[in-house]
Amino acid sequence: MKPQALQIIRDEHLAIAAVLFALRFCVRKIRDEGKAADFVLLRAILDYIVSYPDRWHHPKEDQYLFSAVRERTREADHLLATLQEEHRRGHPMIEDLKQQLLAFERGEPGANAAFCAAAEKYAQVEWTHMRREEDLLLPIAERVLTEEDWERIHAAFRENDNPLFGIKPKDEAERLYRTILSLAPAPIGYAK
Ligand SMILES: [Fe+2]
Ligand SMILES: [Fe+2]
């Protein structure tokens, strides 16, 4: 039987990828079709990225999945270093994107094009990162980790939902996700 944690990680990647797709879709409408920016939607997308992948998903991978693999094998050392570096770089990139969105909203010269370029770049980097994890790291993890390792990883990812934690990031992510779907234009959003 496949470890449950694998399914959680893949599901989280799917949700993150859907939001990145929405971000790129919005950017292309603005940049290629000259459509007005929906700043409420763009802010909801950036809030989601900050509150979920950046604050919860990547740190859990670093702390539990990556460290477990590192303990069982040396074959993934180079890959893990790359993935961790990508986690580290993701945080300043999203902070930068938030600043660029504010400049765009204020109507600063060149801010529109700069935001669109940075958003495309961010989506591309994150996609490549998640693909690398799924195609390269998860198969190694499946091969080398023990049942106990997977249980610990599962417990950590499940903790994202634990009300005793004080906050429930998955609830927050879910709320933002619904906001994004309700605001996004067809074919991404709900039929209006
Ligand atoms: Fe990651
Ligand atoms: Fe990931």
Q: Domains of the chain (ranges plus CATH)?
A: 4-183 (1.20.120.520)
- Cβ–Cβ < 8 Å for 27, 120: yes
Give the model's pLDDT for residue 181. 78
Q: Please write the tens of the pLDDT for every residue from 48-76.
A: 888 788 888 999 999 999 999 999 999 99
Q: Using 50, 70 and 90 to split pLDDT, how confident is the model at 192?
A: very low
Query: pTM, whole model, 2 decimals?
Result: 0.87
What tokens appear for 44 in the block?
Answer: 């909801």
- Calpha distance 68→54 (Å, rounded): 20
Token pair 């799917």: residue: 14
Structure tokens at 125: 């980097």
Terminal Cα distance for the chain, rounded: 41
Q: Is a pLDDT exceeding 70 seen at residue 166?
A: no
Nearest one of 22, 23, 46, 126 to 94, comparing CA atoms: 46
Write the single-letter amino acid at 58.
H
Residue 16 pLDDT > 80: yes
Given a contact cutoff of 8 angstroms between Cβ atoms, the answer to whether 140 and 75 are in contact is yes
Answer with the residue of higher pLDDT: 110 or 159: 110
Radius of gyration of the chain (CA): 18
pLDDT tens profile 77-127: 999 999 999 999 998 999 999 999 999 999 999 999 999 999 999 999 999
- Both tokens of 126, joined, read 């994150």
Cα 47 to middle of ligand 2, angstroms:
18
Q: Which is more confidently placed, 187 or 27? A: 27
Q: Residue 80 Cα, ligand 1 centroid: separation in angstroms?
A: 10
Q: What is the whole-number distance in angstroms between the Cα of residue 34 and the centre of ligand 2? A: 33
pLDDT value of position 163: 46
Check residues 140 and 8 and name the one with the higher pLDDT: 140
Q: Tell me which residues have their CB within 5 A of the ion that is ligand 1.
A: 58, 61
CA angle, corner 128, sides to 122 and 133, nearest 5?
Answer: 125
Residue 159: the pLDDT is: 72
- d(C-alpha 86, C-alpha 6), whole Å: 20
The pLDDT value recorded for residue 176 is: 76
Q: How far is the CA of 183 from the centre of ligand 1 (A)?
A: 27
**Whole-number pLDDT of residue 69:** 98
In degrees, to the nearest 5, what angle opens at C-alpha 109 toward C-alphas 108 and 113? 100
DSSP state of 165: G
Distance of CA 65 from the midpoint of ligand 1 (Å): 10
